[in-house]
Structure 1
Amino acid sequence: MKKINLILLLALVMLACKSESKTETVNLEENRAKSYNQEDGLITISGKFFYDEVKNAAIIQKNNNTVYGVVVDDNMKLLNEQVKPLKINTYDMVPVTVRVKRFEKPENEEGWPYRVEIKDILKIEKPSTEEEDVIKIGTE
Protein backbone atom coordinates (compact mmCIF):
# COMPACT_ATOMS: atom_id res chain seq x y z
CA MET A 1 0.00 0.00 0.00
CA LYS A 2 2.87 2.38 0.79
CA LYS A 3 4.33 1.82 -2.67
CA ILE A 4 1.04 2.68 -4.38
CA ASN A 5 0.69 5.87 -2.34
CA LEU A 6 4.30 6.80 -3.13
CA ILE A 7 3.76 6.21 -6.86
CA LEU A 8 0.55 8.28 -6.81
CA LEU A 9 2.31 11.06 -4.92
CA LEU A 10 5.20 11.12 -7.41
CA ALA A 11 2.76 11.12 -10.34
CA LEU A 12 0.87 14.07 -8.80
CA VAL A 13 4.11 15.99 -8.24
CA MET A 14 5.25 15.38 -11.80
CA LEU A 15 1.89 16.48 -13.23
CA ALA A 16 1.85 19.60 -11.07
CA CYS A 17 5.38 20.56 -12.18
CA LYS A 18 4.63 20.21 -15.87
CA SER A 19 5.70 23.43 -17.53
CA GLU A 20 3.86 24.75 -20.51
CA SER A 21 6.01 26.25 -23.21
CA LYS A 22 4.46 29.29 -24.84
CA THR A 23 5.34 30.24 -28.37
CA GLU A 24 4.62 33.85 -29.11
CA THR A 25 4.23 35.10 -32.65
CA VAL A 26 5.06 38.68 -33.48
CA ASN A 27 2.21 40.56 -35.13
CA LEU A 28 3.69 43.43 -37.11
CA GLU A 29 0.37 45.27 -37.33
CA GLU A 30 -0.04 45.04 -33.57
CA ASN A 31 3.50 46.37 -33.07
CA ARG A 32 2.73 49.28 -35.40
CA ALA A 33 -0.38 50.18 -33.43
CA LYS A 34 1.48 49.82 -30.15
CA SER A 35 4.32 52.05 -31.26
CA TYR A 36 1.94 54.94 -31.94
CA ASN A 37 0.38 54.58 -28.48
CA GLN A 38 3.51 54.18 -26.41
CA GLU A 39 4.88 57.15 -24.56
CA ASP A 40 8.48 56.48 -25.58
CA GLY A 41 8.21 58.96 -28.45
CA LEU A 42 8.88 56.33 -31.12
CA ILE A 43 6.69 55.74 -34.16
CA THR A 44 6.67 53.03 -36.80
CA ILE A 45 6.99 54.09 -40.41
CA SER A 46 7.02 52.13 -43.64
CA GLY A 47 8.65 53.56 -46.70
CA LYS A 48 11.45 53.27 -49.21
CA PHE A 49 14.98 53.67 -47.87
CA PHE A 50 17.93 55.14 -49.75
CA TYR A 51 21.47 55.94 -48.59
CA ASP A 52 24.05 57.84 -50.68
CA GLU A 53 27.48 56.89 -49.34
CA VAL A 54 29.23 59.62 -51.33
CA LYS A 55 27.13 62.41 -49.81
CA ASN A 56 26.66 60.53 -46.51
CA ALA A 57 22.92 61.22 -46.61
CA ALA A 58 19.90 58.95 -46.21
CA ILE A 59 16.14 59.31 -46.67
CA ILE A 60 12.96 57.35 -46.13
CA GLN A 61 10.09 58.15 -48.50
CA LYS A 62 6.67 57.07 -47.29
CA ASN A 63 3.99 55.88 -49.68
CA ASN A 64 2.23 59.26 -49.48
CA ASN A 65 5.44 60.90 -50.79
CA THR A 66 6.39 62.34 -47.40
CA VAL A 67 10.19 62.31 -47.19
CA TYR A 68 12.23 62.17 -44.00
CA GLY A 69 15.94 62.79 -43.68
CA VAL A 70 17.56 59.95 -41.75
CA VAL A 71 20.18 60.54 -39.06
CA VAL A 72 23.38 58.78 -40.15
CA ASP A 73 24.35 56.60 -37.19
CA ASP A 74 25.11 52.95 -36.39
CA ASN A 75 21.45 51.84 -36.78
CA MET A 76 21.17 53.54 -40.17
CA LYS A 77 24.41 51.91 -41.32
CA LEU A 78 23.16 48.52 -40.08
CA LEU A 79 19.96 49.01 -42.10
CA ASN A 80 22.02 49.97 -45.15
CA GLU A 81 24.12 46.79 -44.84
CA GLN A 82 20.92 44.72 -44.66
CA VAL A 83 19.37 46.33 -47.76
CA LYS A 84 22.52 46.17 -49.93
CA PRO A 85 21.96 42.55 -51.06
CA LEU A 86 18.44 43.47 -52.24
CA LYS A 87 19.57 46.31 -54.49
CA ILE A 88 20.06 45.68 -58.19
CA ASN A 89 21.25 49.21 -58.90
CA THR A 90 23.24 51.44 -56.55
CA TYR A 91 20.38 53.94 -56.50
CA ASP A 92 17.52 51.50 -55.82
CA MET A 93 15.17 52.33 -52.96
CA VAL A 94 14.28 49.40 -50.71
CA PRO A 95 10.95 49.08 -48.81
CA VAL A 96 11.51 48.98 -45.03
CA THR A 97 9.50 49.21 -41.83
CA VAL A 98 11.33 50.81 -38.91
CA ARG A 99 10.65 52.30 -35.49
CA VAL A 100 12.00 55.80 -35.33
CA LYS A 101 12.21 58.93 -33.26
CA ARG A 102 10.87 61.81 -35.38
CA PHE A 103 11.89 65.43 -34.84
CA GLU A 104 12.08 68.72 -36.75
CA LYS A 105 15.36 69.63 -38.41
CA PRO A 106 17.28 72.61 -37.02
CA GLU A 107 16.18 75.87 -38.67
CA ASN A 108 19.67 76.81 -39.86
CA GLU A 109 20.21 73.55 -41.80
CA GLU A 110 19.17 72.45 -45.27
CA GLY A 111 17.09 69.38 -45.84
CA TRP A 112 13.70 67.86 -45.32
CA PRO A 113 11.42 69.44 -42.67
CA TYR A 114 11.56 66.33 -40.46
CA ARG A 115 14.30 63.91 -39.56
CA VAL A 116 14.10 60.44 -38.14
CA GLU A 117 16.53 58.49 -36.03
CA ILE A 118 16.21 54.73 -36.55
CA LYS A 119 15.79 52.79 -33.31
CA ASP A 120 14.55 49.36 -34.50
CA ILE A 121 14.48 47.61 -37.86
CA LEU A 122 11.23 45.68 -38.13
CA LYS A 123 11.03 44.56 -41.74
CA ILE A 124 12.97 44.73 -45.01
CA GLU A 125 11.32 43.79 -48.30
CA LYS A 126 12.65 43.05 -51.74
CA PRO A 127 12.12 46.02 -54.09
CA SER A 128 9.45 45.58 -56.76
CA THR A 129 10.95 45.22 -60.23
CA GLU A 130 7.76 46.65 -61.77
CA GLU A 131 8.11 50.12 -60.23
CA GLU A 132 10.63 52.81 -61.02
CA ASP A 133 12.12 53.20 -57.53
CA VAL A 134 15.44 54.58 -58.65
CA ILE A 135 16.89 57.94 -57.70
CA LYS A 136 19.18 59.30 -60.41
CA ILE A 137 21.96 61.59 -59.23
CA GLY A 138 23.12 64.19 -61.74
CA THR A 139 22.19 64.47 -65.41
CA GLU A 140 22.35 61.66 -67.90
Structure 2
Amino acid sequence: MKKALVLILCLSVFVSCKNESKTATETISQSENNDVKVLKGEFVYFADAAVLQTKEEVYGVILNEKMHELENQAKAYKKESTDMVPVEIKGIIKPKSEGEEGWPFQIEITEIVKVSPPLAQDATTIKIKNTNN
Protein backbone atom coordinates (compact mmCIF):
# COMPACT_ATOMS: atom_id res chain seq x y z
CA MET A 1 0.00 0.00 0.00
CA LYS A 2 2.84 2.39 0.87
CA LYS A 3 4.55 1.72 -2.45
CA ALA A 4 1.32 2.44 -4.30
CA LEU A 5 0.89 5.73 -2.41
CA VAL A 6 4.47 6.77 -3.17
CA LEU A 7 3.90 5.90 -6.83
CA ILE A 8 0.71 7.99 -6.91
CA LEU A 9 2.48 10.92 -5.24
CA CYS A 10 5.35 10.65 -7.75
CA LEU A 11 2.91 10.65 -10.63
CA SER A 12 1.01 13.64 -9.31
CA VAL A 13 4.24 15.56 -8.72
CA PHE A 14 5.50 14.92 -12.24
CA VAL A 15 2.14 15.75 -13.82
CA SER A 16 1.91 18.99 -11.85
CA CYS A 17 5.30 20.04 -13.29
CA LYS A 18 3.48 21.03 -16.47
CA ASN A 19 1.44 23.60 -14.50
CA GLU A 20 4.38 24.83 -12.46
CA SER A 21 4.15 28.44 -11.39
CA LYS A 22 6.91 30.99 -11.73
CA THR A 23 6.96 31.37 -7.94
CA ALA A 24 8.26 27.82 -7.45
CA THR A 25 11.94 28.72 -7.47
CA GLU A 26 14.86 27.55 -5.43
CA THR A 27 17.38 29.90 -3.86
CA ILE A 28 20.37 29.23 -1.68
CA SER A 29 20.73 31.18 1.54
CA GLN A 30 24.15 32.70 2.16
CA SER A 31 23.81 32.55 5.94
CA GLU A 32 26.34 31.65 8.63
CA ASN A 33 25.40 27.98 8.29
CA ASN A 34 26.02 26.94 4.68
CA ASP A 35 24.05 23.70 5.22
CA VAL A 36 20.77 25.60 5.63
CA LYS A 37 19.02 26.33 2.33
CA VAL A 38 15.99 28.47 1.56
CA LEU A 39 13.61 26.60 -0.73
CA LYS A 40 10.42 27.72 -2.45
CA GLY A 41 8.09 25.14 -3.89
CA GLU A 42 4.89 23.20 -3.44
CA PHE A 43 4.31 21.07 -0.35
CA VAL A 44 2.00 18.12 0.19
CA TYR A 45 1.58 15.73 3.12
CA PHE A 46 -0.66 12.74 2.60
CA ALA A 47 -0.84 9.37 4.37
CA ASP A 48 2.51 9.57 6.17
CA ALA A 49 4.48 10.86 3.16
CA ALA A 50 5.55 14.49 2.72
CA VAL A 51 7.00 16.01 -0.46
CA LEU A 52 8.44 19.39 -1.43
CA GLN A 53 8.59 20.02 -5.18
CA THR A 54 10.77 22.92 -6.31
CA LYS A 55 11.58 24.04 -9.83
CA GLU A 56 14.81 22.04 -9.78
CA GLU A 57 14.21 19.03 -7.53
CA VAL A 58 11.70 16.93 -5.62
CA TYR A 59 12.53 16.30 -1.95
CA GLY A 60 11.12 13.89 0.55
CA VAL A 61 10.36 15.87 3.71
CA ILE A 62 11.56 14.39 6.99
CA LEU A 63 8.57 13.86 9.28
CA ASN A 64 9.25 15.93 12.39
CA GLU A 65 7.62 18.63 14.50
CA LYS A 66 8.32 21.40 11.94
CA MET A 67 6.83 19.33 9.10
CA HIS A 68 3.64 18.86 11.12
CA GLU A 69 3.60 22.59 11.91
CA LEU A 70 3.90 23.31 8.17
CA GLU A 71 1.08 20.87 7.40
CA ASN A 72 -1.15 22.58 9.96
CA GLN A 73 -0.49 25.96 8.30
CA ALA A 74 -1.01 24.49 4.81
CA LYS A 75 -4.39 22.96 5.79
CA ALA A 76 -5.90 26.47 5.80
CA TYR A 77 -5.37 26.63 2.02
CA LYS A 78 -6.27 23.05 1.05
CA LYS A 79 -9.63 22.20 -0.45
CA GLU A 80 -8.70 18.51 -0.64
CA SER A 81 -6.13 16.52 1.32
CA THR A 82 -3.99 15.96 -1.80
CA ASP A 83 -3.70 19.66 -2.74
CA MET A 84 -0.17 21.05 -3.01
CA VAL A 85 0.43 24.37 -1.25
CA PRO A 86 3.15 26.93 -2.17
CA VAL A 87 5.63 27.34 0.69
CA GLU A 88 8.98 28.90 1.48
CA ILE A 89 11.05 27.08 4.08
CA LYS A 90 14.56 26.85 5.46
CA GLY A 91 16.04 23.41 5.89
CA ILE A 92 18.94 21.04 5.70
CA ILE A 93 19.20 18.87 2.59
CA LYS A 94 20.37 15.32 3.25
CA PRO A 95 20.86 12.35 0.92
CA LYS A 96 18.39 9.55 1.62
CA SER A 97 19.64 6.51 3.47
CA GLU A 98 20.79 3.55 1.40
CA GLY A 99 18.01 1.05 0.85
CA GLU A 100 15.33 3.61 1.75
CA GLU A 101 12.48 4.27 -0.69
CA GLY A 102 11.85 7.74 -2.04
CA TRP A 103 13.64 10.64 -3.68
CA PRO A 104 17.45 10.91 -3.69
CA PHE A 105 17.37 13.87 -1.28
CA GLN A 106 15.39 14.68 1.83
CA ILE A 107 14.93 18.01 3.55
CA GLU A 108 14.70 18.54 7.29
CA ILE A 109 12.66 21.70 7.84
CA THR A 110 14.28 24.08 10.34
CA GLU A 111 12.10 27.16 9.78
CA ILE A 112 8.84 28.00 8.02
CA VAL A 113 9.21 31.32 6.19
CA LYS A 114 5.91 31.58 4.29
CA VAL A 115 2.81 29.58 3.35
CA SER A 116 0.69 30.89 0.45
CA PRO A 117 -2.65 29.99 -1.13
CA PRO A 118 -2.37 27.69 -4.17
CA LEU A 119 -2.94 29.00 -7.68
CA ALA A 120 -6.37 28.45 -9.21
CA GLN A 121 -6.86 25.04 -10.80
CA ASP A 122 -8.30 24.46 -14.23
CA ALA A 123 -9.82 21.58 -16.20
CA THR A 124 -6.37 20.08 -16.91
CA THR A 125 -5.54 19.59 -13.22
CA ILE A 126 -5.43 15.92 -12.25
CA LYS A 127 -7.01 15.06 -8.90
CA ILE A 128 -6.43 11.92 -6.87
CA LYS A 129 -9.60 10.52 -5.35
CA ASN A 130 -9.82 8.06 -2.49
CA THR A 131 -12.47 5.51 -3.44
CA ASN A 132 -12.30 3.68 -0.11
CA ASN A 133 -14.42 6.24 1.74
Q: Deviations over 1:6-25 (max 9, x none)?
A: xxxxxxxxxxxxxxxxxxxx
Matched, 1:101 2:103: no
How many residues are aligned here?
104
Percent identity over the alignment is 33
User: Of 53, 61, 83, which aligns to 1:61?
Assistant: 53
CA distance in 2, matches of 1:126, 1:108: 36
Matched, 1:127 2:118: yes
User: Of 21, 31, 39, which aligns to 2:33?
Assistant: 39
User: Of 59, 65, 83, which aligns to 1:92?
Assistant: 83
Gap runs ≥5 in structure 1: 1-31
User: Of 60, 64, 76, which aligns to 1:73?
Assistant: 64
Aligned to 2:42: 48
Q: Which runs of 4+ in 1 moved over 2 A?
A: 35-40, 130-139
Greater percentage in helix: 1
Provide the TM-score with structure 1 as the length reference: 0.66
Amino acid at match of 1:87: K
Aligned to 1:110: 101
Instruction: Give 1:90 shift.
Output: 1.3
CA distance in 2, matches of 1:134, 1:76: 25
Superposed CA RMSD: 2.2
Give 1 or 2 for the bigger CA radius of gyration: 1
Q: Deviations over 1:76-127 (max 9, x none)?
A: 0000000101001111000000001001001111110000000000011100
Gap runs ≥5 in structure 2: 1-26
Contact 1:49 1:61 in 2 (8 A): yes
